[in-house]
Amino acid sequence: MTSTGGGSEKVSVQVVIRVKPLTEHDLENLPTRFQRQIVTTSPYATNQIVVEGEKRQVFNFDNVFPPETTQQEIYEKSVENLVNKFIEGFNVTILAYGQTSSGKTHTMGTADNPLIPSDSKGIIPRAMSTLFSTINSIHHSKNDNRKFSIKVSFVEIHNEDLIDLLGEGVEEERPPVLIREDSKGNIYWSGLQEVKVTGVEEVISYLAKGSQHRQVGATDMNEKSSRSHAIFSVTMLQQKFIPNNNNGSPLSPTTPTFSRPGTPSSRSISSRAPSRANSVMSSRFDDGEWVTITSKFHFVDLAGSERLKRTAASGDRAKEGIAINSGLLALGNVISALGDPNKAKYTTHIPYRDSKLTRLLQDSLGGNAKTLLIACVSPAEYNANETINTLKYANRARNIKNNAVVNQEEMGWNDVGHLQSLVIKLRQENSSLKIANATLGLQQQQQQSSSGIVTPGRYSYFRYTWT
């Protein structure tokens, strides 16, 4: 039995722009005549970005971060509130999009390790620090009885193959990672190893381990260019007790345990002296119920979105570039179908199945999630075409509407013993109601008889009900 738990929000995909500062490496490799910075932020609006050139273009987003913006500022202004929503039980997705060497991996923190200075840490380590800090505070609270379980997974899409970056053993001997869809339309993947974690250090260690296995290669634009799309996922399971008392004061719940009684017989149900086990179960149901809240946090580090000739790639690198651009093209088609007002009027089919990337992100774009797209751009004139394409791509995503809900389910609906106990309780309550109704009918009939009022057939109806 699934409910939203009162948490359901119709929200737009949030889009922010980060302008990368030109580094010494950029100045050494870019042609001198194309080093002029043509991307500026408006001094009058924090959500506006201007691209100068043959044609001056202005774009508006939820937020625009100039080159001097720190990692901490980006996290506090755009991400921290999403971590709180994740703890409430909402699914959350953050995507980093942009050309190679525009700062996606740096912003996301996908390649984080203990050697990186604290002020340079990206979104993932900062989000995990907030997550576990909040959980520790909840554990020390006397008024909050939630129990948490957290698992992480790390998968990459390389040449349209799903690869488990945390998998153990020889890659050829691992089970294949497959994309599935449950009866409710939620997307999940099977064959992927999920590792239980209890602290930030564990998360960072698995993040570093997976990053070492990720496909990277040298191109003309980056010596360590990511040649695959990577998705680092955090799944949180909460167990929460919801009391049934009217005044809302907290009760003292016990940890739920579901026994497995034998199949109930009609004789045991009709007995007027219920067993002690049934009495305990009935009392537990009367006090309140334990619910399970499952939420997922996807951190998506997309590969570079530039034209193949810009990378001067050949051989395997060229094949990787073609696969990358195919996935991004499919992602762009999904964004256009969902966010382009002109196409939305007559588009009835959303091409999620055109690539594994869009299939994995089906819940994040137009589905059940709160989604943030961070578009990273270069300010140099040399990258003007890629920058404008990225801004147009991101601008369409702002029109996408998601329906984010808290995925809450009463505990025990997959437990046979719990369901049997619940059936016993409901049958006992049903029998009690029949007896109460019959008794009330007899009392009314006796009152009518004593007052001289006779209602033909009424006594026989209640007598039939009694038996």
Domain ranges in the chain are 2-242+291-410, 416-467
Does the annotation flag 103 for ligand binding? yes
Which residues, other chains included, contact 140 with Cβ-Cβ below 8 Å and sequence gap of 6+? none
Does the annotation flag 104 for ligand binding? yes
Per-residue pLDDT, averaged over 365-377, amounts to 95
Is the pTM higher than 0.85? Answer: no
Token readout for 331 is 């992602």
User: How many helices and strands, by DSSP H and E, does the chain display?
Assistant: 15, 20
Does the annotation flag 102 for ligand binding? yes
Does the annotation flag 233 for ligand binding? no
Given this model, what pLDDT does residue 414 score?
61
Distance CA 150, CA 217 (A): 32
Indicate the angle between helix axes 384-397 and 316-339, nearest 10 degrees: 40
445-456 residue pLDDT tens = 888 777 665 555
**Highest-confidence segment of 143-152, 210-219, 254-263, 405-414:** 143-152
Distance CA 448, CA 443 (A): 9
Phi, psi angles (nearest 5°) of residue 389: -60, -40
Distance CA 321, CA 177 (A): 22
Would you call 172 helix, strand, or coil by DSSP?
Answer: helix
**Highest-confidence segment of 100-114, 309-323, 383-397:** 383-397
C-alpha separations of 215 from 109, 158, 159, 172 in Å = 16, 7, 10, 16
297-315 residue pLDDT tens = 999 999 886 565 555 555 6
Dihedral sign of CA atoms 163, 167, 170, 175 in order:
negative
Does the annotation flag 367 for ligand binding? no
Would you call 344 helix, strand, or coil by DSSP?
Answer: helix
Does the annotation flag 101 for ligand binding? yes
Does the annotation flag 105 for ligand binding? yes
Distance CA 260, CA 416 (A): 7
Residue 99 has pLDDT above 80, yes or no: yes
Q: Which of 18-27, 37-46, 227-236, 316-325 has the lowest mean pLDDT?
A: 316-325
C-beta neighbour count of 111 within 10 angstroms: 21
226's enclosing H/E stretch is: strand 225-226
CATH fold of 2-242+291-410 reads: Kinesin (3.40.850)
Does the annotation flag 366 for ligand binding? no
